[in-house]
A and B are shown apart, each in its own frame.
Chain A
Amino acid sequence: MSVSAQISFRDLTLGYERHPAVHHLNGEVAEGALLAVCGPNGAGKSTLLKGICGSLRPLGGAVDLHGISPRDIGYLPQGADLDRSFPISVFDLVSMGLWRRAGLFGGIGRKDRAKIEEAISAVGLEGFEDRPIGSLSGGQMQRTLFARLLLQDARVILLDEPFTALDASTTADLVDLVRRWHGERRTVLAVLHDFDLVRAAFPETLLMARRAVAWGPTKEALAPENLLKARHMGEAWQADAATCPVAA
């Protein structure tokens, strides 16, 4: 079966105030891929996800989503900037995942309620429906956000450090969900720091340090020489940096 590209990076440069955080990245993510994005702090991993979902405009080059809209992407940002003091229940927060179908005025009918309850139960939070989000633990909150992602039913899912500070059992449950998405041929990109987890669950890895250091089967991408190279490739942010000769 031929595999078509879902996301293509063409000489992509992303950054802040003209300083690149992702620099001249080229490559393709196949439809249905389960790709780990690894690299040292400041390597541009989170920036890359922001560029894919359209919240950050490229400084150069382009991201091609091959026909899907950035709004059809399920995106779980790092430490989601959620106001947990807002008086809203787990059920209502998860129901936001139906936005694409319900929009401004669409009602939430019996079928939708069943779907929401199913998503909550799929992440192991049965009985938590009416709990205010402010009373949840970090792990429970992350499960809630995964339930919302489940409801979004997105073809492309971007996860930015989704398992940070979670216990082993919560991580295992959520990794199972990621595997389920992969089985449904959804394209999943996850920024991760735990190499053991990446080796166990992610067949493909992009190792980056602003540029791609290695991209391919996880075992090869995470080879010791590549990891060493990534550690030394950190291009320091310089206030007086010259204009990039490729961009000029």
Chain B
Amino acid sequence: MNPYEMLIAPFVEFEFMRRALVGVFALALGAGPLGVFLMLRRMSLTGDAMSHAILPGAAIGFLLAGLNLYAMSLGGLVAGLLVAVGAGVVARATELKEDASLAAFYLISLAVGVLIVSVRGSNVDLLHVLFGTVLGIDNAALLLISGITTVTLFTLAIIWRPLVMDSVDPTFLASVSRSGGVSHVAFLTLVVLNLVGGFNALGTLLAVGLMMLPAATARFFVRDLSALVALSSVIAFLSGLIGLLVSYNFGTPSGPSIILVAGIAYGGAVVFGPAGGVLSRLLPGRHLEA
């Protein structure tokens, strides 16, 4: 098989591959900045918890309307927001910290979701919800993902300043403005929206992978915030592109292939990354003058 047949032909010949490529491109644009902020705000595992929390909503949508994109997405969105808001309310109204209340909420949510799918669906349905079908993205799913990405980028532009301030110095922001809480909720909503967008392609469990792995990888190469966001999106898109090609050429499932490619990039960055990677720490080079 020549390089053209391996790398280019799949996209030229098959519409589902082109749709999948556009889908992961749109997902990467939103996932990049969100993943970076999740990581910098020490909320990496919050993204994972939220991805589990989406499951019962998607399952209820599936129960009511079958494999209907909008019903499952809307259900996922409502469930994700309920868990995010519920955990936040419990954390503020009681002595429990937010991580503990979030863990409680998402575990309950996950159990409800698996129960619903197991009782009323088949194993195939469960697999679809858990792992998605990036190669099955139709026009409606593509529009949904693109719409979510557009909303994400516009909203991020609006909340960027308070989000950065709230991440660096929340006490200071609280002393000059009330926008910290608003930007936090808006940010969590964007995370849930993007996970809902991503679960059609990658499934609820892997959707968060496209956010966190590229962000963690980018951290080993650049230290500037804007560069982190840009590089994270580029890595997410390249992971999507290479993952799709791996999936096409080797017959592997597309979602896990994409996330594994991002995982390999992360592994390489941990070892070779110039900004704090293992090698740069073991072999720092000669010291500077000042």
Question: Which residue numbers of A lie inside 8 Å of B, CB to CB?
Answer: 53, 55, 70-71, 73, 75, 77, 80-83, 85-88, 92-93, 96, 99-100, 103-105, 132-133, 148, 152
Asked whether, in the complex, the Cβ of A99 is within 8 Å of the Cβ of B174, the reply is no
Write out the residue numbers on chain B whose beta carbons fall within 8 Å of the beta carbon of A77.
171
Total cross-chain contacts (CB, 8 A): 62
Asked whether, in the complex, the Cβ of A80 is within 8 Å of the Cβ of B225, the reply is no
Question: Which residue numbers of B lie inside 8 Å of A, CB to CB?
Answer: 40, 158, 161-162, 164-165, 167-177, 179, 223-225, 228
Asked whether, in the complex, the Cβ of B168 is within 8 Å of the Cβ of A71, the reply is no
Asked whether, in the complex, the Cβ of B167 is within 8 Å of the Cβ of A71, the reply is no
Which of B175, B223, B225 lies at the interface centre, i.e. has the most chain A CB atoms within 10 A of its CB? Answer: B175
Q: How far is the CB of A169 from chain B (nearest CB, A)?
A: 19
Write out the residue numbers on chain B whose beta carbons fall within 8 Å of the beta carbon of A132.
223
Write out the residue numbers on chain B whose beta carbons fall within 8 Å of the beta carbon of A73.
175
Asked whether, in the complex, the Cβ of B164 is within 8 Å of the Cβ of A88, the reply is yes
Asked whether, in the complex, the Cβ of A81 is within 8 Å of the Cβ of B171, the reply is yes
Write out the residue numbers on chain A whose beta carbons fall within 8 Å of the beta carbon of B173.
96, 99
Asked whether, in the complex, the Cβ of B172 is within 8 Å of the Cβ of A80, the reply is yes
**How many angstroms between the C-alpha atoms of A86 and B174 in the bound complex?**
18
9 contacts between A and B (CB under 8 A): A55-B174, A80-B169, A81-B171, A82-B168, A82-B169, A86-B225, A87-B224, A100-B176, A133-B168
**How many angstroms between the C-alpha atoms of A73 and B171 in the bound complex?**
13
**How many angstroms between the C-alpha atoms of A238 and B224 in the bound complex?**
49
A88 partner, pick from B170, B177, B225, beta carbons under 8 A: B225
**How many angstroms between the C-alpha atoms of A66 and B161 in the bound complex?**
30
Asked whether, in the complex, the Cβ of B228 is within 8 Å of the Cβ of A81, the reply is no
Asked whether, in the complex, the Cβ of A80 is within 8 Å of the Cβ of B40, the reply is no
Q: How far is the CB of A159 from chain B (nearest CB, A)?
A: 13
Write out the residue numbers on chain B whose beta carbons fall within 8 Å of the beta carbon of A99.
165, 173, 176-177
Q: How far is the CB of B217 from chain A (nearest CB, A)?
A: 15
**How many angstroms between the C-alpha atoms of A82 and B171 in the bound complex?**
8
**How many angstroms between the C-alpha atoms of A81 and B175 in the bound complex?**
13
Nearest residue in A to B164 (C-beta to C-beta)? A88
Nearest residue in A to B178 (C-beta to C-beta)? A71
Known pairs A81-B169, A86-B167, A88-B164; A55 contacts B175 (CB<8 A) = yes
Which of B165, B172, B173, B225 lies at the interface centre, i.e. has the most chain A CB atoms within 10 A of its CB? Answer: B172
Known pairs A71-B177, A99-B176, A100-B176; A86 contacts B165 (CB<8 A) = no
